[in-house]
Structure 1
Amino acid sequence: MTLKLDNLNSVLLQKSAKRLHKRRKQITETKNAILAGTQNETDSKERLALYEKREASLALSQGLPIAAQTALFEEEIPDLATIGKEALIGLKNDLLPIEFFEYGLYAARSVGRLEHSEGLKFGTGFLVGQGLMMTNHHVLQTPQDARSHFFELGAEANRIGNQTPSKICSIHPEKFFWANEELDVAIVAVVDEDPSFIPLEHYGWHVLTRQQGMIKKGDPVNIIQHPLGRNKAVVVHNSHLLHIENETDAHMFCWYSGDTQKGASGSPVFNNHWEVVAVHHMAVPKTNTAGEVLDKHGNPITKEIARHSPHLIAYAANEGIRTSRIVSALEAADFEKPSHAETRDNLLNFWARPGAHTRGLRAAVRSSLAV
């Protein structure tokens, strides 16, 4: 008997698959355009204009070339004799400043592992400032779920440098808890049980913004996660934004090709400036018109094979919740406790302050210096 999405008893997955199924053509077009170096042609003029305006602003503040096509160290008047020695392949300049790696290390500090107190249930979360952590609703659905988990920072391996000590925080939903089932996101307060051992704020944080133009189709995405509940990992290879759209029934979501594994739910999805553009929540398998799940050869897969060899299931893309939509939903949320509403307001103001993103990364520097 073939495996159908209906058999999996997951409303969340069925909704994700339905959204993606309607956009298979656009996603395939973007994948092909990435290989051809013409991904700009797949995005809307409005989104490209917002993206280019924002990139120009960031380039000015960082002292980098403004034109997206200009190499970092390209001569003003190229010598024709150099043709054939070096070149930008495709339409996008992929040269990055070397500090990209260091920024990534600091961005990773605030990403942690969520673990159930009884073990065997894992997720990923990340600090968002004000002593709060974000993950998926399906990871922490209720305050009771939250109380049964703990949040561990610094669960990572380092065999050639200083080993970062881990820090375990308890979760305090009484102080703050917000979950949105439709968006599949949750924000909860974490408690620094041992502030004398690397204070929580020294792990940094990530801000969420409603600003548009942070990323466009075909751009790389970087996903920091705890796959299978193991040590922290990052995806930077074969990882691109495949589809995003506005003013549709799926405007709250985006799709990308970066790898994830069980336990990655709640991971931050970054652009190349290490800004959070989405929160990962679902891997969407390929299906046919009958709703049957397909294997990597395009054939319907049986329940038995899927159960014993899940790696043979073909996936169309990973799906994440856009940060701009999370900010809007949090802003519109109603809270029974006035203290929770006040915490929400403080968090939104905190995110909106100029330079909040940079301050979050700089705060993580203190953790590395303290080791």
Structure 2
Amino acid sequence: MTLKLQSLNNVLLEKATQRVQSRLGELNKTRSAILAGTQAETDSRERLKLYQKRQASLALSEGHAISAQPSIFEDDTQDLSRLGNEALIGTRNDLLPIEFFEYGLYAARSVGRIEHVEGLRFGTGFLVGHGLIMTNHHVLPSEHEARQHFFELGAEANRIGNQTPSKICSIEPDRFFWASEELDIAIVAVVDEDPSFIPLDHYGWHALIRKQGKIKKGDPINIIQHPLGRNKAVIVHNNHLLHIENGTDAHMFCWYSGDTQKGSSGSPVFNSRWEVVAVHHMAIPQTNTAGDILGKDGEPITRATARRHPDQIAYVANEGIRTSRIVDALEVAQFTKAHHADIRDFLLKSWSSPGAQRRGLRAAVRSAQAL
């Protein structure tokens, strides 16, 4: 029996699949442009202007100017006899400053595993400041469900150096809880069970940046996650933003390539500056017009094969919720508890303050140095 999308009884997945199916042309156009090195041409003029404006602003604030990469042929004195000694191979410059990895390690410290107390379900979440974590609504859909889970930091393999114990945090929705089923986002408070080890705020946090222009189509993305509830893992750089749009009924979402698995829900999706650009919420399977989910061989996959070999399912793209849209929704959210509204206001103010992301990463540096 073939596996039908509708038989999964997953409304979120059905809606996401419809969104992707109607945008396959755009996704494939970006994929082709990435291979050709012309990905910048696939984004809208409006979004490119926002991106360029933000990059110029960041360059000024960091004390350096943006300049174009010079061609080796612009200099008449270039020694062409040494031309083959070094070169950029491919259609794009993949050179990164070495601090990219250092920043990534600090960015990863605030990403943790969300686990049901009976081990029934897993997800990923990350600290966003003031003892709050962000994940998906389908991971923590209610205050009652939230109480049945805990948040674990530091669940990662470490074959070099000393293995440090992980930190367990209980989840406390009474202090703060907000969830949006439409966006598939939840924010909830956690409690540090052992502040004598490493205080929770020393793990760092990620400020959500409302301003658009953090990334453009074709740019690399990075995802830190707990796939299948296992130790922390990362996909880095060789994954790309495939599509994003404004002014449509799907403006809240973006689509990107990269390997994710069950348990990756709620993972932060980063740009090359380790700024959160989206929150991952699902991978979209490839389907045919009859609604059959396809395997990697292009044929409808059977339910039995999908159960035994889930890695044989073909996926079109991942879908995430855009950071700017999360901030917009949180700002207008209504709360029945006054102290929840107060915490929301304080959180939004801290995110929008100058240098918020840098402060979050610096806190992670302190905890790393304490180990």
For 1:280, the equivalent position in structure 2 comes to 280
Mapped contact 2:169–2:192 kept (Cα < 8 A): yes
Partner AA of 1:235 in structure 2: I
For 1:43, the equivalent position in structure 2 comes to 43
Q: Deviations over 1:133-189 (max 9, x none)?
A: 000000001101110111011111111123333111111000000000010000000
Separation (CA, whole Å) in 1 of partners of 2:129 and 2:20: 32
Q: How does 1:245-324 map to 2 (within 5 A)?
A: 245-324=245-324
For 2:128, the equivalent position in structure 1 comes to 128
User: How far does residue 86 in structure 1 lie from its aligned partner after superposition?
Assistant: 3.0
Separation (CA, whole Å) in 2 of partners of 1:96 and 1:201: 29
User: How far does residue 370 in structure 1 lie from its aligned partner after superposition?
Assistant: 1.0
For 1:225, the equivalent position in structure 2 comes to 225
Mapped contact 2:239–2:256 kept (Cα < 8 A): yes
Q: Secondary structure at the match of 2:186?
A: strand
Q: Residues 87 and 346 of structure 1: is their aligned pair in 2 closer, same or farther, counting only changes over 3 Å?
A: same
Partner AA of 2:338 in structure 1: P
Separation (CA, whole Å) in 2 of partners of 1:58 and 1:161: 35
2:97 is the alignment partner of 1:79: no
Q: Secondary structure at the match of 1:83?
A: helix
Mapped contact 2:237–2:272 kept (Cα < 8 A): no
User: How far does residue 294 in structure 1 lie from its aligned partner after superposition?
Assistant: 1.1
Q: Residues 238 and 96 of structure 1: is their aligned pair in 2 closer, same or farther, counting only changes over 3 Å?
A: closer
Q: Residues 182 and 86 of structure 1: is their aligned pair in 2 closer, same or farther, counting only changes over 3 Å?
A: same
Separation (CA, whole Å) in 1 of partners of 2:294 and 2:209: 37
For 1:146, the equivalent position in structure 2 comes to 146
Partner AA of 1:172 in structure 2: E
- Tell which deviates more after alignment, 215-224 or 192-201: 192-201
User: How far does residue 246 in structure 1 lie from its aligned partner after superposition?
Assistant: 0.6
Separation (CA, whole Å) in 1 of partners of 2:171 and 2:70: 47
Identical-pair percentage: 72
Mapped contact 2:113–2:152 kept (Cα < 8 A): yes
Mapped contact 2:157–2:231 kept (Cα < 8 A): yes
Mapped contact 1:255–1:318 kept (Cα < 8 A): yes
Mapped contact 1:257–1:317 kept (Cα < 8 A): yes
Q: Residues 70 and 128 of structure 1: is their aligned pair in 2 closer, same or farther, counting only changes over 3 Å?
A: farther
Mapped contact 1:215–1:271 kept (Cα < 8 A): yes
Separation (CA, whole Å) in 2 of partners of 1:29 and 1:155: 38
Separation (CA, whole Å) in 1 of partners of 2:164 and 2:242: 34
Separation (CA, whole Å) in 1 of partners of 2:214 and 2:164: 31
User: How far does residue 45 in structure 1 lie from its aligned partner after superposition?
Assistant: 1.3
- Tell which deviates more after alignment, 306-315 or 329-338: 306-315
For 1:180, the equivalent position in structure 2 comes to 180
Q: Report how many residues are paired.
A: 369
Q: Secondary structure at the match of 1:84?
A: helix
Partner AA of 1:216 in structure 2: K
Q: Secondary structure at the match of 2:85?
A: coil
For 2:340, the equivalent position in structure 1 comes to 340
Mapped contact 1:68–1:92 kept (Cα < 8 A): no
Separation (CA, whole Å) in 2 of partners of 1:296 and 1:193: 45
Partner AA of 2:78 in structure 1: D
Separation (CA, whole Å) in 2 of partners of 1:87 and 1:58: 28
For 1:103, the equivalent position in structure 2 comes to 103
For 1:26, the equivalent position in structure 2 comes to 26
Q: Secondary structure at the match of 1:291?
A: coil
Mapped contact 1:69–1:91 kept (Cα < 8 A): no
Partner AA of 1:171 in structure 2: I
Separation (CA, whole Å) in 2 of partners of 1:51 and 1:207: 19
Separation (CA, whole Å) in 2 of partners of 1:57 and 1:67: 13
For 1:326, the equivalent position in structure 2 comes to 326
Separation (CA, whole Å) in 1 of partners of 2:127 and 2:320: 18
Mapped contact 1:209–1:351 kept (Cα < 8 A): yes
User: How far does residue 60 in structure 1 lie from its aligned partner after superposition?
Assistant: 3.4
Separation (CA, whole Å) in 2 of partners of 1:294 and 1:57: 45
Q: Secondary structure at the match of 1:320?
A: strand
Q: Residues 166 and 214 of structure 1: is their aligned pair in 2 closer, same or farther, counting only changes over 3 Å?
A: same
For 1:199, the equivalent position in structure 2 comes to 199
Q: Which consecutive aligned stretches of 4+ in structure 1 deviate over 4 angstroms post-superposition?
A: 89-92
Mapped contact 2:253–2:320 kept (Cα < 8 A): yes
Separation (CA, whole Å) in 2 of partners of 1:305 and 1:196: 48
- Tell which deviates more after alignment, 313-322 or 36-45: 36-45
User: How far does residue 76 in structure 1 lie from its aligned partner after superposition?
Assistant: 8.4
- Tell which deviates more after alignment, 145-154 or 303-312: 303-312
Separation (CA, whole Å) in 2 of partners of 1:29 and 1:83: 33
Separation (CA, whole Å) in 1 of partners of 2:206 and 2:188: 14
Q: Deviations over 1:26-48 (max 9, x none)?
A: 10111111111111111111111
Mapped contact 2:35–2:91 kept (Cα < 8 A): no
Q: Residues 195 and 218 of structure 1: is their aligned pair in 2 closer, same or farther, counting only changes over 3 Å?
A: same
User: How far does residue 241 in structure 1 lie from its aligned partner after superposition?
Assistant: 0.6
Separation (CA, whole Å) in 2 of partners of 1:70 and 1:56: 18
Q: Deviations over 1:62-117 (max 9, x none)?
A: 4555135359xx89847152433333455643322111110000000100011111
User: How far does residue 228 in structure 1 lie from its aligned partner after superposition?
Assistant: 1.1
- The TM-score with structure 2 as length reference comes to 0.95
